[in-house]
A = this chain, B = another copy of it.
């Protein structure tokens, strides 16, 4: 359908119609600074217009060995930090004139590797990789794939050290520290933690920040206050009751999704946030500000990440041999309505 009576005009058609050669047409249409008479230029442009000619990007990509497309490899798109990041990177790269090809690894290392290949084969000029959370076994797999990759890869949120490709990292230790310090400043002494998987580096870093803050305030670290799970709502729901049993007055949820689980469960037990318990989240996804009460949370610097990614991509596409420094971005605490001073302080 549709195409039967209408075929896309190619440069050849423009050449035939205008009476000039393909080469001349290409030169004119690309505004190459070569001496071609104005009448010729105009004629060719008019023909291109009439035929509604638009260069075929596949052909362009083949000949220029560049496709103006950037690949984006993400663990998932479940309304988390990743989808925020995806959106921001998408905006930034679109603004910079790139197309985007997005794919999800389902947090599976093998799929990540596969996707790196896929991206290359699709002719993307560069790829942004937020890798799956992995165990140490997989590191060399990634390093190998990244080093062998013929296009620049920007690593976000995770750095494989034996690679030359640059990374954009967020300081998770600081994030954990900020969240905890805020609660300590508010006078909370027993602060429960609902964490993601204990073997994720980001998770460990946030907990490290938590401990740093505690020790700064001379509060002993109590292992019983730390619960591991996933970065999801269910983990928040199922963990709340046992933390309440530990008599905590505040909870540091290591993701906003976990915090929502806490919200939901608290609602069930008729526990008021922040009156009965303070909650701090992590990520500052879109709707955190819309919750009731609005969630106090550690905001990922998504705009800066996106900006940094774009900068690195454009730099690398200009000169693929530059060695870009890894970047370390800082999260920001957003104090909203889910935390309050410890009663009596």
**Chain A: residues with CB nearer than 8 A to chain B?**
1-4, 6-8, 52, 54-59, 61-62, 67, 69, 77, 79, 83, 87, 90, 94, 99-104, 117-118, 120-123, 146-153, 164-165, 233, 260, 263-264, 267, 286-287, 290-292, 316, 320-323
Contacts and interface: CB of A to CB of B under 8 A. Distances in A.
B1 A290 contact: no
A1 B2 CA distance: 44
Q: How many monomers of this chain does the complex have?
A: 2
Contacts of A103: 94, 99
Contact of A121 (B56, B87, B148, B152): B56
14 contacts: A1-B152, A1-B320, A1-B321, A1-B323, A2-B150, A3-B320, A4-B320, A58-B58, A59-B62, A83-B83, A83-B87, A260-B287, A263-B292, A290-B291
Contacts of A165: 1-2
Contacts of A292: 263, 267, 291-292
A120 B152 CA distance: 26
Most buried by B among A3, A151, A320: A3
Contact of A287 (B79, B94, B101, B153): B79
A147 B321 contact: no
Contact of A2 (B56, B99, B149, B263): B149
Given A1-B323, A7-B150, A101-B101, 12 more contacts: A1-B316, A2-B153, A6-B147, A6-B150, A56-B121, A57-B122, A58-B67, A77-B90, A233-B290, A260-B287, A263-B292, A287-B290
Nearest to A72: B102
A69 B100 contact: no
Given A52-B148, A123-B56, A164-B2, A290 B316 contact: no
Contact of A100 (B59, B102, B322): B102
Given A87-B77, A290-B264, A147 B104 contact: no
B151 A2 contact: yes
The 7 closest A-B CB pairs, nearest first, are A3-B150, A292-B292, A287-B287, A58-B123, A57-B121, A58-B61, A57-B122
Contacts of A1: 152, 164-165, 316, 320-323
Contacts of A287: 79, 260, 286-287, 290
B8 A120 contact: yes
Contacts of A77: 87, 90
A6 to B, nearest CB: 5
A120 B54 contact: yes
A101 B70 CA distance: 10
Nearest to A166: B1
